Structure 1
Amino acid sequence: MLDETVFRSDDVPAPDRFDYWVELLGRSHAPMELRSSYADDFRASQRVLDLGGVTVWSLAFQPLVFRRTPKLIRQSDPETYHLSLVVRGTGSGVWRHRETQYKPDDLLVNSSSLPNDVHSIGAPVSTVALEIPKALVPLPRDAARRIIGVPVSAREGMGALLARFLIQLTEDTAAYQPTDGPRLGTVLTDLAAALFAHLLEAGACLPPETHRRTLTLRIQAFIREHLHDPHLTPTAIAAAHHISTSYLHRLFRDEDATVAEWIRRRRLEAARRDLTDPALHATPIQAIAARWGFPRATDFSRAYRAAYGTTPKDHRHQALHSHK
């Protein structure tokens, strides 16, 4: 499991909850002035994932006003970018250069170095946030003001790619080891940097390695969405992303698998999940194989045995029997 800390307001006496929450945010993020009409009996919860310098938050709280003042910035500035995915609730943000409204499925970009007032409305408000040291994001300093406060849609494009990664990560951390934290932090940093470049229309600000990694992630997401297609080939993938097949193969050199091997592994993993799902016990094995891009039963059986050391039928029988 990843390194994480959890706070629930119910663990603190009601009269102390709001002050404790203010202190907690000041320690884990940056000092802020907080106001709430629910301060007498404040309800909130927070999970913080430490990914080796990069931090992911999952928060739920009653309506609040967050205020970061020039005085507080002078006292303490961790110099971070803060990206908040709004899951539930609405609100607004006010900076010297911009005012904006936000709603569910918006990503809001903020900076610990700029004074701001953020008003959150809802009961409770729910967000997933990403905090990245500015030193890890290679953007010109004067570009920050152009992206701070800009609401980004999490329904499409780079915003959706980053949002899906955050949601999947926070929904299930049990599958990761503590040593995976820094690697996940690197992936999130690259995604955030690419999103910033997209907003600025200044791709030249990013180093080539970040471009490469972001493109690889986009291609992997494309593959996952098209695993059912038996015609998913390196040629088709390269064409869909307007790159040459040879460049596609070069991108996958760091993935410990060729493009074809990477596709086969993801297909086998998906088929294995379905085969061991009690809810799908009546679905024919070949139907599951075809669903995940194996139209020929012999090809599926051979690949499955090579990957897992057993046949699909035997594996299903063993898994379903253990559930009884």
Structure 2
Amino acid sequence: MVVVLDTGLLPMGDRIDAAQDLLADTEIPSINRLGTVAGQLWHRFTVWDLGDGVHATQVIGTGLGVLRGAKQLRVAAPERVGIGVQLTGSGTFSHCGADQVIDVGELSLTDGTSASDYSSTGIGGTKVVIFDYNQLALPVETVRSAATRLKSSPLYGLVTAHIAALGEEGDIDPGPARIMLKSATTQLVRALITTAAADPRQHDDLHDTLYLRIAAYVEQRLRDPGLNPDQIARAHNISVRHLYNVWSARGISLSQWIIHARLEGAHADLARLGRTVPITVTAQRWGFTSPAHFARRFRAAYGMSPREWQQTNDRQTP
């Protein structure tokens, strides 16, 4: 389910009330401050349900403040954890005895049982994933300890990219795909927290997220023709044998998975770019050093040659 509210489409006098109502329905008790920029007042809210006990909220607009003080904690202090990424602009965040400036691409971690104060000025945006504590199965002390040390985790960049990308492909209907997305998100955030807090659980969490970390590493380097098992194993401080063992439960070999992902990228580019880019150039961009090998693999995967696929899309383009 996706809930979207764009207050810019409402009469000026109704915008703040509509935003406050949405936040009251989806988030924990807080004082929400909605600001203006150069006389503008608008906010666009998107809420994604990732499954029982996990949802994501994105807010983009003209200034936002979210305060949870002693009064709000007395009203309700649900056991929830929020992990947010600053999408645009910057914000200030006071929590767990520390004051932080959150710039674009940086994370913030919130324990819902503690006081916190976030604010951003100017036009900015943030995306926060909210977990019930029982989903992460971590003690409050671990989360509070990690809140000021997130950047010390080796998973910081991976989790940042993962949260920023959540929902960008649209809503996912209930079913296996959404279950897998919720599981992967929960595992990554749990591992981020335990490694930042130097919690003893971190070793098990790093092991549990190894496949996800390898997959992200490979996806970022699909265009590198030199990508190989030795390089991937070294980057994750494991043996090539261990790498193959990690992948063996996936039903496809690592090399076949890489080839398939490269073909998908080339397939999309040939359709998008048409004859403006030579086929050999597209193949090289996706890590295929041999045009003949690329053509053979492409035909086996899609039942036509790269040229035929390119021409098909040329005919369909006005």
- Asked if TM exceeds 0.5, the reply is yes
Aligned residue identity for 1:205 = R
**What does residue 142 of structure 2 align with?**
143
Q: Extract unaligned runs of 5+ from structure 1.
A: none
Relative to structure 1, the CA distance from residue 96 to residue 226 in structure 2 (aligned partners, 3 Å threshold; closer, same or farther) is closer
**Aligned residues of 1:138 and 1:205 also touching (Cα < 8 A):** no
Matches within 5 A, 1:99-248: 99-122=99-122, 124-149=123-148, 152=151, 157-173=154-170, 176-179=172-175, 180-202=177-199, 204-206=200-202, 208=204, 210-248=205-243
Superposed displacement of residue 270, structure 1: 1.1
**Residue 290, structure 1, aligned to residue 284, structure 2:** yes
Q: 1:230 to 1:41 in 2, by over 3 A?
A: closer
User: For 2:96 and 2:48, how far apart are their aligned partners in 1?
Assistant: 31
Structure 1 residues 312, 18: CA separation in 2 closer, same or farther (over 3 Å shift)? same
Letter in 2 for 1:315: W
Aligned length: 315
Rounded to whole Å, the distance in 2 between the matches of 1:96 and 1:221 is: 31
Which amino acid in the other structure matches residue 282 of structure 1? T
Q: CA RMSD in A?
A: 2.5
Distance 1:56 1:37, change over 3 A: closer
Q: 1:310 to 1:257 in 2, by over 3 A?
A: same
Q: Which residue of 1 aligns with 2:32?
A: 34
| SS across alignment from 1:100 | strand
Report the secondary structure of 1:113's partner residue: coil
Taking a change above 3 Å as real, the CA distance of residues 298 and 47 of structure 1, as seen in their structure-2 partners, is same
Contact map agreement 2:149 2:197 (CA 8 A) in 1: no
Question: Residue 62 of structure 1 aligns to a residue in which SS?
Answer: strand
The answer as to whether partners of 1:238 and 1:245 remain within 8 angstroms in 2 is yes
In the TM superposition, what is the alpha-carbon distance from 1:206 to its structure 2 partner?
A: 4.2
Letter in 1 for 2:312: Q
TM-score scaled by structure 2?
0.89
Question: How far apart, in 2, do the equivalents of 1:27 and 1:78 lie?
Answer: 14
The normalised TM-score by structure 1 is 0.87
Stretch moving more, 133-142 or 267-276: 133-142
Partner of 1:255: 250
Once the two structures are aligned, what percentage of the paired residues are identical?
Answer: 26
Which AA in structure 2 matches 1:106? E
Contact 2:127 / 2:164 at 8 angstroms: preserved in 1? yes
Deviation track 1:18-50 (CA, whole Å, cap 9, x = no partner) reads 133223212211111123454998421111111
- Post-superposition CA distance 1:290-317 (Å, at most 9, x none): 2222222222122112211211111111
Per the TM alignment, residue 101 of structure 1 is displaced from its structure 2 partner at its CA by 2.2
Q: Is the 8 A contact 2:90 2:121 kept in 1?
A: yes
Corresponding position of 2:261: 266
Please list every run of 5 or more consecutive structure 2 residues that lacks an aligned counterpart in the other structure.
Answer: none
Post-superposition Cα deviations, 1:264-303, rounded to whole Å, max 9, x if no partner, equal 111111111121123x523222222222222222221221
Aligned mates of 1:288, 1:35 — CA distance in 2:
49
Q: Does the Cα contact within 8 Å between 1:93 and 1:100 map onto a contact in 2?
A: yes
Change (3 A) 1:283 1:127: same
| Residue 37 to residue 231, structure 1, CA distance change in 2 (3 Å) | closer
Say if 1:321 and 1:213 are closer, same or farther in 2 by CA, change over 3 A: farther
